[in-house]
Amino acid sequence: MPRPEDVARLTTDELRSAFLVPGLYAPGKLQLQFTDLDRFVVGGAVPTSSGPLALPGHRETGRGFFLERRELGAINTGGPGTVTVDGQLYPVETEGCLYVGMGAREVQFASRDAQHPAKYFILSCPAHQPFPTTAARRDEATRVPLGTAADANVRTIFQYIHEGGIKSCQLVMGYTELAEGSVWNTFPPHIHSRRTEVYFYFHLGERVLAHFMGDPAGTRHLFLHNEEAVLSPSWSIHSGCGQGNYKFIWGMAGENQRFDDMDRVQPLELR
């Protein structure tokens, strides 16, 4: 991961190589990308008629199995699915969430209908304490309405894994839905030096989105397509503006789980 002073000199291709995570959804595959941002793993699973997709072990974890010292969150952006954790089956509806605690040995992702497969966006971070594996539907999320039509940022935040919801060691996760006619998310932007963040944009269709990042005094941008993720170091702003409304999953890990722990940046301070 480049340092803040390096980011100002990166070419477009270098910037995209360092911060953009494309191609996470591939039919019949489970794909994982290890990062050096709070040891986050970013992944995607699209189970099809070939059967369930098992979470594999990986030498990068340095443990006997993947979740021996990790926890995991998954939000389903496709058709209804199920996840089996150590023999117990959990339904994961469209835009529902599953949290899997540290110590789970076998995790298998499946779709109920291979013609309309589930699409699981996966985040995993280190953990030092186990918490119960828990599934939640969209209507069970904590909803927080924000924004105004005048500012083109009317949105609803769906909080799943957080202090007042599904318990975890350090993972915080949910998604945001923009209303029709709104295009801005998380604006004015902020940073939080206590936590890394990952965004995964979906329901963009054929439209594109400009994701703004970097030091507030030296911002950069990336153009993202549907179902692409972007990494946000603790020193970087993270905000986006699309051609139309869309949704995005957000996930954080760091020193606390307070959703509102942020250092806001005023618009006129941006460069």
- How far is residue 134 from each of residues 16, 162, 250, measured CA to CA in Å? 34, 12, 18
What is the Cα–Cα distance from 210 to 121, expressed in whole angstroms? 21
What is the Cα–Cα distance from 209 to 244, expressed in whole angstroms? 9
0.85 exceeded by the pTM? yes
Termini Cα distance of the chain? 22
| Digitized pLDDT (tens) for each residue of the chain, 271 residues in all | 899 899 989 999 999 999 999 999 999 999 999 998 989 999 999 999 888 999 998 888 888 999 999 999 999 999 999 999 999 999 999 999 999 999 999 999 999 999 999 999 999 999 999 999 999 999 999 999 999 999 999 999 999 999 999 999 999 999 999 999 999 999 989 888 888 999 999 999 999 999 999 999 999 999 999 999 999 999 999 999 999 999 999 999 877 777 777 888 999 999 9
Q: Which domains does the chain have, with CATH numbers?
A: 4-20+138-269 (2.60.120.10), 25-132 (2.60.120.10)
Q: What is the Cβ-side half-sphere exposure of residue 89, based on CA atoms within 13 angstroms?
A: 8
What is the Cα–Cα distance from 247 to 245, expressed in whole angstroms? 7
